[in-house]
Chains A and B, each alone.
Chain A
Amino acid sequence: NERKCRVWRCEDEVGGVEMTESGAQLFARLEARRCLKDIEPALFPADGGPEHGEVVELHGTEGTGKTELLYHLLCRCVMPAAAGGLEVEVVFVDTDYSLDMMRLVSVLDSRLNAGTHRPAPSVLRSCLARLLVVHCSSCSQLLLTLHFLETSLSSRPSLALLLIDSISAFYWLDRCEGGASVTKQEEKLSKCADLLDSLRRDYRITVFATCHAIRRNYSGQSSSSSSEFDRPYLCRSWQRLVNHRLLCSREEGTSNMATAAEGSEEQRRRQVFTVHCTSSFSSKTKSHRSSSFYVTDGGVKLI
């Protein structure tokens, strides 16, 4: 372990943190990383929340509540324990440039204020300080950034969640640049997936990633056709990584774009989103769980 420690010491200089420690200390520190098993029990199969080092994929088309769900989970992580949060740090890798800070803050704010006593304004700030945001504009930058983040992972034991929104952002770019060869098309994302694999193993960090469906969800028809839109299309090495797959969809029949109408408050309340979770365990067994939620101004409310 001698050399490994040397590596970390050097890398930490890049991150601006000077530190030395023994392998035993390191081990203790990694052990201390908070487990996110109880991040949102209602979403996952009984007793099956994400363990240390597990990968969760949120899959769905636009307008199926993915973003809201993501912010819900994010808030739970950064909120102080006193307010019912997990009080851990989160790295948000924003590849879509879609992080809506205003929305996130309003969700966070309403959840912090949900308690009996109003928290001080500094609480909101300290919650946000637990969030690290990084924007990536290409798959190769994502790869380099993940390499760079290794420093933060090793030096911050309270960092428990790596969030990637979205892992599918560069899919078409890579496909086009790869030409006719599928291996070439998938090369970059495969490299990222391999790196993620080693990061989660070495640092026991939990990874959440969103994935945009690239096919239309022709729901309203039978469920047989909906298998078309939820089919995984990203590279093999990513698929192998995923332990829990949350499939988001919108319950039809309440509203669509053409039939906009009066009573919108009611309607939005009634707009129910469904999440179907499939968890795979090492023993090759799978378990499922379906849950529903609706969205209010204050964020996700699970039913």
Chain B
Amino acid sequence: MQRPVSSLSLSSCVKVKLVGAGFQFTADLRHLSPQQLSKGASLTQQEALEVLQAVTREGGSDKAAGAGGSSASMTALELLQKEEEELRSIVTFSSRLDAALGGGVPIGKTTEVCGAPGVGKTQLCLQLAVDVQVPPCFGGVGGQVVYIDTEGSFVLQRAVDIAAAAVRHCSLLVEDDEQRVAMETFSVDTVLSNMFLVRCHDYVELLAELHLLPDFLSAHPRVRLLVIDSVAAPFRRLFDELLQRTRLLNGLAQQLIAMANSHEIAVVTTNQMTTRVLGAQSQLIPALGENWGHAPTIRLILQWAGSQRLAAIFKSPCHVDSTVQYQITTEGFRDIDQSDQPQSKRPRMHNDQSAAGV
């Protein structure tokens, strides 16, 4: 079966011209020079060149595959090695949540934090923005963060408090010279200087920012975390145009995961909760519709249970659904003290290491 020209990643008007001139399959283009093609299909030289590049790229990938070295493909074993050596997680400073997530918020994936206002979504984002900078010798990833604030909920003082607590925590752990040296460049000031803050007011600004972000990430290879707090707010205005909203969100989801994968960053987004009425019952579910639910790799739901705060892993391809309790202190996002917690409320996550298969 031959590959149609229309399946190439080219602008649609160029493709229409090509087909109109009788070039329906990529095989028809292989032997042509740019001059011949621009004449034959009434394209500009530039367009003709782009077309031929797209065709040879396609042909080239065959050869790369023949040599067994296509960059896109790897075996699961290679991926496992990569995961173990390179892709680490960002700790949350809540050991129970870390355990439930298998080490923290994973790099290379998208994670969505959903919850009602005030339950601690932004707190968790700020915590992660600080945690991503923990030097590697303390078990961190020593990265930088891009923080996109769409609601104006980024409070500098909270960032300072959380950063100070994290620096203090690490300084208490210092044992060897390497860690002592690392602490010299891990201070509240450096933490704040490694946060790239962006304020977006509506969805157009957000989409534009995300469009430019890959270049920024290439220029700043140390960035390991992208926070969008929140995705829901800028799209609220589009609520009436459901179709357009769904399409934009679908595209956004693919953009985020592509970025997470190619730049090896963790993407953390927040989302609000909304009420779904099912017959007589009503149910609190994440906003932005069911389609968006497919977007994040991991979905974390923060919720109140009486006066307790619970974090539930709702969707994750690599973890058991589990629920842990946490608290928000002046220092940031933390485990609840063991003594405060009734025995019956012990989270299930302690079993998951032993539970075979999952």
Q: Which residues from chain A sit less than 8 Å from chain B, CB to CB?
A: 137-138, 140, 173, 176-180, 184
Q: Within the assembled complex, what's the spacing in Å between the Cα atoms of A180 and B17? A: 11
Closest 6 CB pairs of A and B: A179-B16, A177-B19, A137-B1, A177-B6, A176-B6, A140-B24
Instruction: List chain A residues, Cβ under 8 A from B16.
Output: 177-180
Instruction: List chain B residues, Cβ under 8 A from A177.
Output: 4, 6, 15-16, 19, 24
Q: Within the assembled complex, what's the spacing in Å between the Cα atoms of A137 and B20? A: 19
Q: Which of A138, A140, A173, A184 contacts B20 (CB 8 A)?
A: A184
Q: Is B46 an interface residue (CB 8 A)?
A: no
Instruction: List chain B residues, Cβ under 8 A from A138.
Output: 4, 24
Instruction: List chain A residues, Cβ under 8 A from B6.
Output: 173, 176-177
Are A173 and B4 in touch, CB under 8 angstroms? yes
Instruction: List chain A residues, Cβ under 8 A from B15.
Output: 176-177
**Further 19 A-B residue pairs, CB within 8 A, beyond A177-B4, A177-B19, A179-B13:** A137-B1, A138-B4, A138-B24, A140-B24, A173-B4, A173-B6, A176-B6, A176-B12, A176-B15, A177-B6, A177-B15, A177-B16, A177-B24, A178-B16, A178-B19, A179-B12, A179-B16, A179-B17, A180-B16
Q: Which residues from chain B sit less than 8 Å from chain A, CB to CB?
A: 1, 4, 6, 12-13, 15-17, 19-20, 24
Q: Within the assembled complex, what's the spacing in Å between the Cα atoms of A138 and B25? A: 10
**5 A-B pairs in the complex with CB atoms less than 8 angstroms apart:** A176-B6, A177-B16, A177-B19, A178-B19, A184-B20
Among residues of A, the one whose C-beta sits closest to the C-beta of B22 is A140
Instruction: List chain B residues, Cβ under 8 A from A178.
Output: 16, 19
Say how far A19's CB is from chain B's closest CB, in angstroms.
Answer: 33
Q: Within the assembled complex, what's the spacing in Å between the Cα atoms of A177 and B19? A: 6
Among residues of A, the one whose C-beta sits closest to the C-beta of B15 is A177
Q: Within the assembled complex, what's the spacing in Å between the Cα atoms of A180 and B1? A: 27
Say how far A181's CB is from chain B's closest CB, in angstroms.
Answer: 9
Instruction: List chain B residues, Cβ under 8 A from A184.
Output: 20
Q: Within the assembled complex, what's the spacing in Å between the Cα atoms of A84 and B20? A: 50
Say how far B28's CB is from chain A's closest CB, in angstroms.
Answer: 12
Say how far B1's CB is from chain A's closest CB, in angstroms.
Answer: 5
Among residues of A, the one whose C-beta sits closest to the C-beta of B7 is A173
Instruction: List chain A residues, Cβ under 8 A from B12.
Output: 176, 179
Are A179 and B20 in touch, CB under 8 angstroms? yes
Q: Within the assembled complex, what's the spacing in Å between the Cα atoms of A184 and B19? A: 10
Instruction: List chain B residues, Cβ under 8 A from A179.
Output: 12-13, 16-17, 20
Among residues of B, the one whose C-beta sits closest to the C-beta of A179 is B16
Q: Within the assembled complex, what's the spacing in Å between the Cα atoms of A176 and B12? A: 8
Instruction: List chain A residues, Cβ under 8 A from B1.
Output: 137
Q: Within the assembled complex, what's the spacing in Å between the Cα atoms of A176 and B8? A: 13
Say how far B18's CB is from chain A's closest CB, in angstroms.
Answer: 9
Q: Within the assembled complex, what's the spacing in Å between the Cα atoms of A258 and B12? A: 39
Q: Within the assembled complex, what's the spacing in Å between the Cα atoms of A164 and B19? A: 25
Say how far A118's CB is from chain B's closest CB, in angstroms.
Answer: 41
Among residues of A, the one whose C-beta sits closest to the C-beta of B24 is A140
Q: Within the assembled complex, what's the spacing in Å between the Cα atoms of A140 and B25? A: 11
Q: Within the assembled complex, what's the spacing in Å between the Cα atoms of A214 and B24? A: 24
Instruction: List chain B residues, Cβ under 8 A from A176.
Output: 6, 12, 15
Among residues of B, the one whose C-beta sits closest to the C-beta of A184 is B20
Q: Within the assembled complex, what's the spacing in Å between the Cα atoms of A140 and B12? A: 20
Q: Within the assembled complex, what's the spacing in Å between the Cα atoms of A140 and B20? A: 13
Say how far B243's CB is from chain A's closest CB, in angstroms.
Answer: 14
Instruction: List chain A residues, Cβ under 8 A from B19.
Output: 177-178
Among residues of A, the one whose C-beta sits closest to the C-beta of B1 is A137
Say how far A258's CB is from chain B's closest CB, in angstroms.
Answer: 12
Say how far A223's CB is from chain B's closest CB, in angstroms.
Answer: 26
Instruction: List chain A residues, Cβ under 8 A from B13.
Output: 179
Q: Within the assembled complex, what's the spacing in Å between the Cα atoms of A13 and B9? A: 43
Q: Within the assembled complex, what's the spacing in Å between the Cα atoms of A179 and B16? A: 5
Q: Within the assembled complex, what's the spacing in Å between the Cα atoms of A137 and B7? A: 14
Q: Within the assembled complex, what's the spacing in Å between the Cα atoms of A176 and B19? A: 10
Instruction: List chain A residues, Cβ under 8 A from B4.
Output: 138, 173, 177
Say how far A22's CB is from chain B's closest CB, in angstroms.
Answer: 41
